[in-house]
Amino acid sequence: MRRRHLALAALAVAIVAVTGLAIYWMWAAGQVRTAIAQWAETQRAEGYDVAYTGPDVRGFPIRLTVRLDQPRIAAPEGWRWSGAAIAGEAAFWQPLLLRLALPRQQELVAVWRGHERSLQLQAGGADGVVRFDTRGQAVAATLDMTDVTVREASGASVRADRLHHEVTRPTPTADGVSHLLLRGEIDALTLPEAPPAPFPETVQRLAYTADLIGTIPSGEPAAALAAWRDAGGLLEVTDLSLTWGPLYVRADGTAALDEALRPQGAFSARIAGLPEMLDALVAQGMMQPGAAAALRLAVLTLAEGRDGNGRPVVRLPVTLQDGRVFLGPVALARLDPVL
């Protein structure tokens, strides 16, 4: 009799455990569906057209797998994106942290200065991670892509061995100002046109860490950026680095937009390979020989030392002002409005 009672008790415990697991899994699956639906509704409330088939949530009893078919987004600014199915997976004890397998072929139609430009993206690998809060707001996202090619309808293309980008939206500060923390890396970026010697066609590495301060509202792009600027919007760049042939730059500073929507700001940059860059600018007619000579003198007199390749390293201010880029006191290039 005792063995029978023990067997019945064990069976009851097993039934309770399986039932509890099933209930928890269904709750977790519901959390995933709700987060995706709330995110889509939030975007629609801001004027975006968000469409997809699904989500199809499976994986019982220990996993949550998600699939969205035929995803597409159209923005009020005019751009639109589409791709093949998006597949995702989450641990059922962390249903709001989704690991995504993104489409390896994507299409983006962008509006640039009044003209539509169709871009085709193809990647050898494309993965992402999105973390939602309980209101369906995406509070962090990561994108990783390898062997990436972006091609225009004209045939022009750029390619990169690897892209990595992170976006984190922390809780607004006590004064209500919103922040968007950005970090990214691009390795082996091949340019669409051959640059002037001695620079190679491929930029070895570009990386950045920045804080976008203030919210850019939805709507027509120029009006939205003007509203962000007028509300005190800033981009604080804590680290920007570029390795390109003989040139190495590492900088930090702050940028905003002027009344003509041109970048304006001030940076401090440590530069190695400046003489080679000056020679290229003079050869292209983008800089007067006298100005280049003045900066070469700065390299000799202000060098802080040498880098690992024996090149002198100089620290100079970089200023974006009145539609021009200044390296120290010398104007290097013109700046067009961002739109």
**Nearest one of 148, 160, 154, 149 to 190, comparing CA atoms:** 160
Rg (CA), the chain: 26
Per-residue model confidence (pLDDT) at position 330: 82
pLDDT band (50, 70, 90) for residue 168: very high
Mean pLDDT of all residues belonging to the chain? 87
Residue 10 has pLDDT above 60, yes or no: no
- The residue with tokens 């280049």 is 292
Residue 141 has a CB neighbour count (10 Å cut-off) of 17
Per-residue model confidence (pLDDT) at position 7: 54
Per-residue model confidence (pLDDT) at position 75: 86
Query: What DSSP assignment string belongs to 41-96?
Result: HHHHHTT-EEEEEEEEEE-TTTEEEEEEEEEEEE-TTS-EEEES-EEEEEETTSTT
Residue 15 has pLDDT above 70, yes or no: no
Residue 220 has pLDDT above 90, yes or no: no
Per-residue model confidence (pLDDT) at position 204: 97
Q: Is 135 helix (H, G, I), strand (E, B) or coil?
A: coil
Distance CA(58)–CA(120), nearest Å, equals: 31
Lowest-pLDDT range, 97-101, 133-137, 156-160? Answer: 133-137
pLDDT digits (tens, 9 = 90+) for 251-287: 999 999 999 999 999 999 999 988 888 888 888 777 7
pLDDT digits (tens, 9 = 90+) for 172-215: 777 778 899 999 999 999 998 888 888 899 999 999 999 999 98
Question: In terms of C-beta distances under 8 Å and separation of at least 24 residues, what long-range contacts does 43-52 make, across chains too?
Answer: 43/73, 46/76, 46/218, 47/75, 47/76, 47/218, 47/219, 48/73, 48/74, 48/75, 48/76, 48/218, 49/73, 49/74, 49/80, 52/86
- Backbone φ and ψ of 281, nearest 5°: -65, -40
Residue 54 has pLDDT above 60, yes or no: yes
Residue 36 has pLDDT above 60, yes or no: yes
Structural tokens at position 50: 């968000």
Per-residue model confidence (pLDDT) at position 284: 78
